[in-house]
Structure 1
Amino acid sequence: MTATPGLALRCLALDALAVATSDALRHHGVDSMLLKGAGLARRLDTDRLYADVDLLVAPDTVTAAQDALLAAGYRPKLPPDLYDVGAYWHEQPWHAPGPLPLTMELHRGFAGVGDYDELWRSLRAGAQHLDLAGGHVLVPDAVGAALIAALHAASPHGFGKPARDLARALEVLPPDAWEAAGRLAVACDAVPAFTVGLGVLPAGVAVATRLGLSSTHGPSSAWLAARLSSPTAVGLAHLAELSGPGHRLRALSRLVLPLPVHLRLLDAGAHHGRWGLLWAYARRIGRHVGRLPRVLRELRTARRRHHA
């Protein structure tokens, strides 16, 4: 994407926000690290654009980080109940103070990572200082950047900007950085998503093969999500990957009948009283039923991948 003056100015504003937020957190004793944004752009030596600020903190400092953000005038974009439902969320969006509509994502982990504590310890151990917007932030080293690029490509919409970032990372980061990133993926329980992300591009498949990783080893849910499959197919694939009938039943109920606080984020009609909420549930079930032919095709494709 070509950087228009407006987009370039927005990125400068985001750089300033990254520094200001990092300073606000540091003032309250919370260490943080810029995961992507300007740090990744400079690491990859590219003029990539970005839409928000992603700051990672240690999982055990999340509450202190939230308090620091509230004290500095930041406001959560989503209802707090959303993060009380389970322990699986890895990022929380916040409105930044000031006249511009800027978003800061507070991370305690990253999508595809099973051990958030180890992710923080590993990335923090190799973190480097980056001079930015008149201040400084911490950013991952080349190994951390390789891991993040691959994990991001495994996320939904991985075929867009994340795939371009991964292509550039595969081009400029040395082989030993990818080998170390593979070991880091093992340490923080992220091998399946790491493998799926690399599998988005032929050059990534070559790296995965060199590291002894097979594209069939990643979970079907992550593989489908990275290829912009329907949410229903991704949800059902994830359901099949869970262990135990209790976990599967809870996941199925959340897929078909999410909590009201979740549904109101997805369907504006759910805000219109009890009947509005009931109609929103009915619409959601109808959408799942309408997607079944596509869902079955996508699940068959994912199943064939394991037998290729």
Structure 2
Amino acid sequence: MSALPEAVRCLSLDTAAARVTAALADHGVEAVLLKGAGLARRLGQQRHRVYTDVDLLVAPASFDLAQRTLADLGCSSALPEGRPDHRSHWYERPWRLPGPLALTVDLHRGFHGVADAEALWTGLWHSAEPIRLAGGLVPVPDDAGTALLVALHAAAPGRSDRPRADLRRALEVFPVDTWRSAADLAARTGALPSFALGLRLTTAGAALAGTLALPRQGTPALWLRAHRASPAALTIAQLAELPRVADRLRHLGPRLFPTPASMRHASPLARRGPGGLLLAYLSRLARNAGRLPAALREVRAARRGDRA
């Protein structure tokens, strides 16, 4: 992708962020822009940072109203029909915006590694600062909120290298006092294990974690996510950390047998009638069985503390 289309896309995303934020406010829903232009300004990367979607945080109690508002704006859910796919994090839902460009709004009611979503919203909203964006005013997290989010994203990076690069940049930009405030916010939101783990993914962050006397209280599942382990290994580690058999069955069931709507959403084979759906399920089970030995090795390595 050339520089011009990237710039056009980012400008379109900025316009979408301002428009959707204003529309939500008109319906009584306040929102904070988590990444995008706000993060670029905090990290001093306005001129060259490229982003691909709009991440908006709303209060957990406002989440359903926010989704209805997006639907009223002509947005469509990017998830399969029926109940939410287990692979979609409970705290965010992607919505596709209408128009010629394929733009997405990720609507958040929480964030990676946060146990108390309401406390996160309260902390970020009350300290948010408005920025001018595409002719509007959009609230963004302050420096401490940004530092928290950057570290949490580094602890759950998906398949991207950018979260760790953002962490290295944030460690250069923000002073120790900002990180101390971020650690306080992490403690209030139940995010301290993920915050500390995220920091320790870099040499400078590990030194800072020592300066802040952050605890080492991570779990194998947290470590596996931070180090981009396979989904199978992460599922096994999470399964082992659940206290009750009923919880484990609820965790494992939809991962072994996603809803038919989810299967049809992800697999062309599953869209070929009942026979195709059955074959897609059998193929999925066979793939998962084949991945099991490697996944178990990953989990054993995490439990041994082999976390280089």
- Same fold (TM > 0.5): yes
CA distance in 2, matches of 1:197, 1:271: 40
Q: Deviations over 1:260-294 (max 9, x none)?
A: 23333332322222222221221111112211232
Pairing 1:276–2:276 present: yes
CA distance in 2, matches of 1:228, 1:21: 32
CA distance in 1, matches of 2:179, 2:159: 19
Equivalent residue, structure 2, for 1:192: 193
CA distance in 1, matches of 2:195, 2:249: 28
Q: Could you tell me which amino acid in structure 1 is paired with residue 235 of structure 2?
A: G
Secondary structure class of the residue paired with 1:155: coil
Secondary structure class of the residue paired with 2:82: helix
Equivalent residue, structure 2, for 1:28: 27
Question: Structure 1 residues 49, 228: CA separation in 2 closer, same or farther (over 3 Å shift)?
Answer: same
Equivalent residue, structure 1, for 2:103: 102
Q: Do 1:153 and 1:159's aligned partners in 2 also have CA atoms closer than 8 Å?
A: no
CA distance in 2, matches of 1:195, 1:267: 38
Pairing 1:230–2:233 present: no
Q: Tell me the TM-score normalized by structure 2.
A: 0.92
CA distance in 1, matches of 2:265, 2:15: 29
Q: Could you tell me which amino acid in structure 1 is paired with residue 39 of structure 2?
A: L
Please list, as runs of the form range in 1=range in 2, the aligned pairs for 1:113-128 lying within 5 A after superposition: 113-128=114-129
CA displacement at 1:80 relative to structure 2: 5.0
Secondary structure class of the residue paired with 1:162: helix
CA distance in 2, matches of 1:155, 1:304: 21
Q: Could you tell me which amino acid in structure 2 is paired with residue 219 of structure 1?
A: T
CA displacement at 1:213 relative to structure 2: 2.6
CA distance in 2, matches of 1:13, 1:207: 37
Equivalent residue, structure 1, for 2:145: 144
Question: Structure 1 residues 158, 187: CA separation in 2 closer, same or farther (over 3 Å shift)?
Answer: farther
CA displacement at 1:201 relative to structure 2: 1.4
CA distance in 2, matches of 1:211, 1:290: 43
Q: Do 2:151 and 2:167's aligned partners in 1 also have CA atoms closer than 8 Å?
A: yes
CA displacement at 1:225 relative to structure 2: 1.8
**What is the RMSD of the two structures over their aligned residues, measured on CA atoms?**
2.2
Q: Deviations over 1:192-212 (max 9, x none)?
A: 221222222122222222222
CA distance in 1, matches of 2:84, 2:155: 23
Secondary structure class of the residue paired with 1:83: coil
CA displacement at 1:87 relative to structure 2: 11
Q: Tell me the TM-score normalized by structure 1.
A: 0.92
Q: Do 1:79 and 1:261's aligned partners in 2 also have CA atoms closer than 8 Å?
A: yes
Structure 1 residue runs without a partner (length 5+): none
Q: Deviations over 1:114-156 (max 9, x none)?
A: 1111110000010001111111100000110011101111114
Pairing 1:164–2:152 present: no
CA displacement at 1:236 relative to structure 2: 0.5
Which runs of 4 or more aligned residues in structure 1 lie more than 3 Å from their structure 2 counterparts after TM superposition?
A: 82-88
Pairing 1:8–2:7 present: yes
Question: Structure 1 residues 142, 118: CA separation in 2 closer, same or farther (over 3 Å shift)?
Answer: same
Question: Structure 1 residues 248, 306: CA separation in 2 closer, same or farther (over 3 Å shift)?
Answer: farther
Equivalent residue, structure 2, for 1:154: 155
Q: Do 2:17 and 2:33's aligned partners in 1 also have CA atoms closer than 8 Å?
A: yes
Secondary structure class of the residue paired with 2:243: coil
CA distance in 2, matches of 1:86, 1:39: 27
Q: Could you tell me which amino acid in structure 2 is paired with residue 191 of structure 1?
A: L
Question: Structure 1 residues 199, 284: CA separation in 2 closer, same or farther (over 3 Å shift)?
Answer: farther
CA distance in 1, matches of 2:155, 2:40: 19
CA distance in 2, matches of 1:3, 1:42: 22
Secondary structure class of the residue paired with 1:189: coil
Pairing 1:301–2:298 present: no
CA distance in 2, matches of 1:73, 1:156: 30
Question: Structure 1 residues 102, 82: CA separation in 2 closer, same or farther (over 3 Å shift)?
Answer: same
CA displacement at 1:42 relative to structure 2: 0.2
CA displacement at 1:40 relative to structure 2: 0.3
